[in-house]
A and B are shown apart, each in its own frame.
Chain A
Amino acid sequence: MDGITAGTLSGSQKDELMDQVKQQIAVANAQELLTKMTEKCFKKCINKPGTTLDSSEQKCVAMCMDRYMDSWNLVSRAYSSRLQKERQRL
C-alpha cells in the first residue's frame, strides 16, 4: 500500500482496502477474546497445575469458554440497549 494515496484508489481497490481493514479488526478482536478467555478459564479451571491438562480440566475449560462467550454476548446486548436508552434521553 506504500506510495498509493487514497485519492487515486479505484473503486475495487477501495473495497479491497476496506475488506483488509475489517479483517484486521476481526483478527484483533478474536485475539483479545482468546487472551481474556484463556486467562479467565485458566483461573477458574486449573487450581493445581499437574503434569498434563487432565480431562476434567479440559471439560471445565470447554464449558468455561462457552459461558464466557454467553457472557460476552449478554454484556454486548445489555450495553447496546443501554446506549440506545441514553441516546433517547438526550
Chain B
Amino acid sequence: MNSDVSNSNIKSDPQLQQFIEIETQKQKFQFLVHGLTDICWELCIDKPSSRLDNKSEHCLKNCVERFIDCSNFVLNRFGKTQFAAATEEITFD
C-alpha cells in the first residue's frame, strides 16, 4: 500500500503522511467488511425478515470468525509448503 503514498510531497509532510496511512488502514478494513458481508450474507440470510434473528446473527458471527481462521490456515499452510519445498531443493540439489 505504500506505493499509493509514493508522492514525495505528501511523504515529506508528516501530518499528511499520517493522515493517508490512517485512512488507508481504515479503508482496508471497510473493504474487507464489504467482502465479508457479501460472503456471509449469502451463507446466513435466507429470506429477509423484520429483524435479524438470533440464528442469523450467530451464523454471521461464526462466518466472520471461520473466514479469518480459514485465511490464517491457508496462509500458514502455504508458508509451510513453500518452506518445505525450499529446504527440499537445498538438500537434494
A-side residues, CB < 8 A to B, are 5-7, 9, 14, 17-18, 21-22, 25, 29, 32-33, 36, 40-41, 44-45, 60, 63-64, 66-68, 70-72, 74-76, 78-80, 82-83, 86
Residue of B nearest to A28 (CB): B27
Residue of B nearest to A79 (CB): B64
Given contacts A44-B47, A71-B56, A83-B29, 5 further A-B contacts (CB under 8 A): A21-B23, A72-B34, A74-B52, A75-B63, A82-B65
Query: Are B68's CB and A82's CB within 8 A?
Result: yes
For this complex, 18 residue pairs linking A to B, each with C-beta atoms less than 8 Å apart, are A6-B9, A6-B12, A6-B13, A9-B13, A14-B15, A21-B19, A25-B26, A44-B48, A60-B48, A63-B48, A67-B52, A68-B48, A70-B52, A71-B40, A72-B34, A75-B63, A79-B36, A82-B64
B-side residues, CB < 8 A to A, are 7, 9-10, 12-13, 15-16, 19-20, 23, 26-27, 29-30, 32-34, 36-38, 40-41, 44-45, 47-52, 56-57, 60-61, 63-65, 68
Query: Are A78's CB and B45's CB within 8 A?
Result: no
Main secondary structure of the interface of B (DSSP, over half): helix
Query: Are A7's CB and B52's CB within 8 A?
Result: no
Residue of B nearest to A4 (CB): B9
Query: Are B27's CB and A67's CB within 8 A?
Result: no
Residue of B nearest to A76 (CB): B33
